[in-house]
Amino acid sequence: MARTIIESKSKTAIIGFDEPFCVIGERINPTGRKKLASELEAGNFTTVQSDALAQVEAGANILDINAGVVYNSNPNPNETEPPLMVDLINLVQNLTDVPLCIDSSVPAALEAGLVAAEGRPLLNSVTGEEDRLEFVLPLVKKYNVPVVAISNDDTGISEDPDVRFMVAKKIVERAADFNIPAHDIVVDPLVMPIGAMATAGNQVFTLVRKLREELGVNTTCGASNISFGLPNRHGINNAFLPMAMGAGMTSAIMNPVALPVSTKKIEEKKEEIQKAGIVLPVDLDQETFVKIFGLGSTKSSAGKEMEAIRAANLLTDNDSHGSSWIQFNKPSSSGSQVSGRGGRRGGRRRTA
């Protein structure tokens, strides 16, 4: 049974066939987040700090760190991304002991992250492209770390799942040439949007089973890709994740956090209520208000996708005595779970 070991200085996360589903928190990533990108370029790490802590509190087992900011002052990522990657890793390691996933398309940023990270991080990623294989696999061997293998190559991303399987097989075979074992490769079979391809769900379920049975590898995905462009994306994600788990998927790169309801949305709801002639108590606080009217919460909390994952862990006998499900459904306290300093012990990475 494949077990991929990811470690911080003092904590271990395991991606495995017989393990609870592993959640890789995706929010420390400026892609598509203009505000975060601007903050990072200005050396402001406030959002990174809050995102790191919120994701850990929501149940993320690993935190993905991406420093892909396009600087207005210097558009060359080969110069700007490596030092920013180091800053982000050092910051997050001082906040929490959750293991890290180093995420970059810039080779120098990957190696800078490997040098800065304590323990045994997950490297994200290698593809079937020749230049990527030639650079990343030696890094994986040198630092003895596991790696995400994305199922595209020099021809691009195929809509044919059999082609994506063959790309994954190629990466596993090339890794074996470096004596990198299959259990240190986590394949991303590439989830297509169901709104653009009606067979996308069935494709990935079939592909995950084949990757598990024929290559013996763990799997991951960008979970929200499945619902891209559709209404009520959380509803689709909530159904997709347990189904993917049932097919054998062992991890996902995803947002574990239900974001706080915005002040604008609260004010719009209050205006709607006032127009309906409803008089609210003058001492009604914001949190009570949003809960009464089904808006969510004024605080970050675990998202519905996390609820679906915890339930699926319970139903697949990957939650001993239902303890995680019971703990998940207890009323939250003042945030005492954030630091997460308990976990299994893990040493520093071993070089080969």
CA angle 206, 208, 212 (to 5 degrees): 120
Residue 301 β-bridge partners:
258
> What's the pLDDT at 340?
39
Q: How confident is the model at residue 337 (pLDDT cuts 50, 70, 90)?
A: very low
Residues 6+ apart with CB under 8 A from 188: 125, 148, 149, 150, 151, 219, 220, 221, 222, 253
Q: What is the pLDDT of residues 164-219, one digit of tens each?
A: 999 999 999 999 999 999 999 999 999 999 999 999 999 999 999 999 999 999 99
Radius of gyration of the chain (CA): 21
Reported confidence tier of residue 345, pLDDT bands at 50, 70, 90: very low
Q: Going by C-beta distance under 8 Å and a sequence separation of 6 or more, which residues neighbour residue 5?
A: 12, 13, 14, 120, 146, 346
Confidence tier at 83 by pLDDT (50, 70, 90): very high
Q: Which residue has the higher pLDDT, 334 or 245?
A: 245
Mean pLDDT, residues 97-116: 97
pLDDT of 112 strictly over 90:
yes
Q: Looking at the domain assignment, is residue 165 inside a domain? A: yes
Average the pLDDT over 127-150 and give the result.
98
Residue % of the chain over a pLDDT of 70: 94
For residue 308, what is the DSSP state?
Answer: H
pTM above 0.75, yes or no: yes
Give the model's confidence band at 342: pLDDT under 50 very low, under 70 low, under 90 confident, else very high: very low
> What is the mean pLDDT of the segment spanning 67-92?
94
Q: How far is CA 292 from each of CA 234, 271, 278, 295, 299, rounded to the nearest angstrom?
A: 21, 15, 13, 8, 15
Q: In sequence order, what are the beta bridge partners of 63?
A: 25, 100
Is residue 277 one of the residues assigned to a domain?
Answer: no
Number of domains in the chain: 1
Domain contains 231: yes
The answer to the question of residue 131 being in a domain is: yes
Q: Given this model, what pLDDT does residue 12 score? A: 98
Residue 339 has pLDDT above 60, yes or no: no
Please tell me the predicted confidence (pLDDT) of residue 352. 43
Query: At residue 125, does pLDDT exceed 60?
Result: yes
Write the pLDDT tens digit of every residue in 27-44: 999 999 999 999 999 999
In angstroms, rounded to a whole number, what is the distance separating the alpha carbons of residues 94 and 262?
A: 29
Residues 238-275 have pLDDT tens digits of 999 999 999 999 999 999 999 888 889 999 998 999 89
Residue found under tokens 């994952």 = 309
pLDDT average, residue stretch 224-245 = 97
Q: What is the pLDDT of residue 351?
A: 47
* pLDDT for 332: 61
Q: What is the mean pLDDT of the chain?
A: 92
Q: Is residue 324 part of a domain?
A: no
Q: Is residue 343 one of the residues assigned to a domain?
A: no
- Using an 8 Å Cβ cutoff, are 236 and 226 in contact? yes
Residue 342 within a domain: no
Contact between residue 71 and residue 80 where contact means Cβ atoms under 8 Å apart: yes
- Top pLDDT among 148 and 349 is at 148
State mean pLDDT over 36-53. 96
The domain spanning residue 201 has which CATH number?
3.20.20.20
Task: Name the strands in the sheet holding 218-219, side by side, starting at the edge strand that comes first in the sequence.
Answer: 218-219, 185-188, 147-150, 122-126, 100-103, 62-66, 22-28, 251-254
Could you tell me the residue range of the domain that residue 20 belongs to?
Answer: 3-257
Assess if residue 227 is contained within a domain: yes
Mean pLDDT across 341-345: 37
